[in-house]
Amino acid sequence: MSAPLLDIDQIMRIMPHRYPFLLVDKIIDMTPKKGITGVKNVTINEPFFGGHFPTFPVMPGVMIIEAMAQTGGIFALETMGCKISENPDLKIFFMSVDKARFRKPVRPGDTLIMRVDLVTQRRNIWKFHGRSEVDGTLVCEAEMMASVNP
């Protein structure tokens, strides 16, 4: 297996998120002006599994959307050359989610592959289309917008 394009240490230099809310473990592909592919390894140790659901743990859909949004945020910040480690006042805000569809539950042990493609970018506003898969099966897709304020 090849090395990731961005590992967790590099992601933490880019993004302001931290445990328990950093939901991207690595970036395996990024194409300028096109999109990015991120990976989230889902484990039983995720804090939300204690209550969602104790006898049949399922990753909440909003967390899958958030993981895709963070992947898009990494793309936006990398494209802009911004890093939280160099600019502690950096802010990235999730603005909207549309057309969200959940196709199959995501469970502990799954590897979530998140492909997030750029739809439009105007100044500091980014619009993305995200798709998440587990073992090649679509589990979630959505359109998302974010604002970057460096």
Residues 61-90 as b or e (16 or more Cβ within 10 Å = b) = bebbbbbbbbbbbbbbbbbeebbbeeeeeb
Q: What is the pLDDT of residue 12?
A: 96
48 closest CA partner among 38, 61, 30: 61
Query: Edge-to-edge strand order for the sheet containing 137-149?
Result: 26-31, 35-41, 111-122, 125-134, 137-149, 91-102
What pLDDT sits at residue 2? 80
Which residue stretches of the chain have pLDDT < 50? none
Nearest Cα residue to 86 out of 27, 5, 15: 15
Domain count, the chain: 1
Specify the pLDDT at position 126. 98
Q: What is the pLDDT of residue 1?
A: 65
- Asked whether residue 35 is assigned to any structural domain, the reply reads yes
Kindly state whether residue 3 falls inside one of the protein's structural domains.
no
Q: How do residues 32-44 score in pLDDT, each as one tens digit?
A: 999 999 999 999 9
Would you say residue 133 lies in a domain? Answer: yes
Q: What is the pLDDT of residue 32?
A: 95
CATH number at residue 13: 3.10.129.10
- Helix (H, G, I), strand (E, B), or coil: what is residue 12? helix
Please give the angle made by the CA atoms of 118, 48 and 129, to the nearest 5 degrees: 10
Identify whether 2 is part of a domain: no
What gap in Å lies between CA 75 and CA 60, rounded to an integer? 23
Q: Rounded to two decimals, what is the model's pTM?
A: 0.97
Q: Which residues are catalytic?
A: 52
**How many C-alpha atoms does 17 have within 13 Å on its Cβ side?**
22
Residue 1 lies in a domain: no
Residue 79 lies in a domain: yes
Residue span of the structural domain in which 44 resides: 8-149
- What is the DSSP-derived secondary structure letter of residue 52? S
- Is residue 125 in some structural domain? yes
- Decide if 136 is inside a domain: yes
